[in-house]
Amino acid sequence: MKIAIFTDSFYPQINGVVTSIVDLAKGMADIGYKIYIIAPEEKGPFEEFSYKDITVLRLPAIDAHFYEGFKWSAIMHKPTFDILKKANLDVVHFMTPLTVSIFGILVGKMLKKPIIGTYHTFISELTYLRQLWPHAGAVQQKISWHYSNAFYNRAHLITIPTENAKKELIANKCRVEIEVVSNGIKLDSFDNSNSAAIKNKFNPDGDLILYVGRVAPEKNMPVLLEAFYKLTKSDSTTKLLVIGGGPTLNECKTIVKNYGIEDRVIFLGLIPTKELKSSGYFGACKLFVTASTTETQSITVLEAEANGLPCIGPNAKGIPNVIDDGVNGFVVTPDSSDEITAAMKRLLEDEELYKRFSENSIKSASKHDFKLILNNWEERYKKVAKIKVSRLPRIKIPAAAGLKE
């Protein structure tokens, strides 16, 4: 079977969407599928992704500027179209509601191939919208949902990683069949043999708390940093490791400086996924914390749980579907730094509770074993490939979406 994956987010970007796409593509290629990944071109020096039976095709593109790393690409590119036409695809699969996926939808329509759309990002959240419209409110959110639906309502099947995220799509008038498919986690991909050295390097006399992810408005970092600052008032040894980069990194460093805890918060910057998994950072840390209220699932939470870390996160979007409150971590009120502080303090001080949560985290992660998820994907690809497409369904598309009937 031949699958074309269209994504506006791909290497050299490092984020959860890219991790999910790469794992899926490699997994399907390993069981005999031929995969094409269509993404924006990159003009700077970087090592192109390469893997057996996976072909990466790049579309001409320019910087989008509205969000770091994203680009506006050509929505029709004849050389790429000709390659895909000759390949005789079975399924078109788009991942992001931007210009590459417009091309993907057009390819599906012109070649009469069934389409899957995977929903990775709640772009209608104000923390995203205000990076484009600083004063965005309810009106812009409504426009954004119309825009998003202009893409996803053109698919024959939508997948999304958690049940809560599915409910959000349905509530906002996504009308296509939606199935929950976890992003999954490769449980055997971690190496913590260096964890003791990492622990001794950064905090030999205390615990380490971990955050991994973008340092960007949608991740709500000021709330997390405030919570950690409050913890330092009663805890003199614990440190926070922040792994990731993004547009608000300097702002976060300023917040830490103003709190006077520069010696307690360590910003390590971006670490490539493969390197991170073998670095020992997960094994060196005691627990994982996020304040993000925009997650469809959170791959970094799954990664932390796979390493036995209890997790703390807000009762928002997909987080409660991966953190079981009082079982493998704590789910707190969104934006409540006080509750995050209390949760961290409790897990750091109660060894029996910590041990139980740690064991449960590993059990929880096992439900997202990528071997199981890969089987789910194969079933869905086979299901969708059977659809006989005469034309895509006619759906009213708002002008803002950039798509026309």
**SS in 3 state form for 59-98?**
ECEEECCCCCCCEEECCCCHHHHHHHHHHCCCEEEECCCC
Q: Which two tokens stand for residue 347?
A: 């897990």
Residues 218, 125 contacting (CB under 8 angstroms): yes
Per-residue tens of pLDDT for the chain, all 405 residues: 999 999 999 999 988 899 999 999 999 999 999 999 999 999 888 889 999 999 999 999 998 876 677 899 999 999 999 999 999 999 999 999 999 999 999 999 999 999 999 999 999 999 988 888 889 999 999 999 999 999 999 999 999 999 999 999 999 999 999 999 999 999 999 999 999 999 999 999 999 999 999 999 999 999 999 999 999 999 999 999 999 999 999 999 999 999 999 999 999 999 999 999 999 999 999 999 999 999 999 999 999 999 999 999 999 999 999 999 999 999 999 999 999 999 999 999 999 999 999 999 999 999 999 999 999 999 999 999 999 997 654 544 344 334 433
Residues 295, 317 contacting (CB under 8 angstroms): yes
What predicted TM-score, i.e. pTM, was given to this entire model?
0.91
pLDDT of 232: 98
DSSP codes joined into one string, 302-371: HHHHHTT--EEEESSTTGGGTS-BTTTEEEE-TT-HHHHHHHHHHHHH-HHHHHHHHHHHHHHHHTTBHH
The total number of residues shown for the chain amounts to 405
Strands 34-40 and 115-118: unpaired
Residues 148, 118 contacting (CB under 8 angstroms): no
Alpha-carbon gap, residue 302 to 314, rounded angstroms? 15
Sequence-separated (6 or more) residues with CB below 8 Å from residue 395? 150, 153, 154, 175
Alpha-carbon gap, residue 293 to 291, rounded angstroms? 6
Strand order in the sheet with 265-269: 265-269, 239-243, 208-212, 287-289, 311-314, 329-332
Strands 71-73 and 61-63: antiparallel
Query: What are the beta bridge partners of residue 265?
Result: 240
Query: What are the beta bridge partners of residue 58?
Result: 39
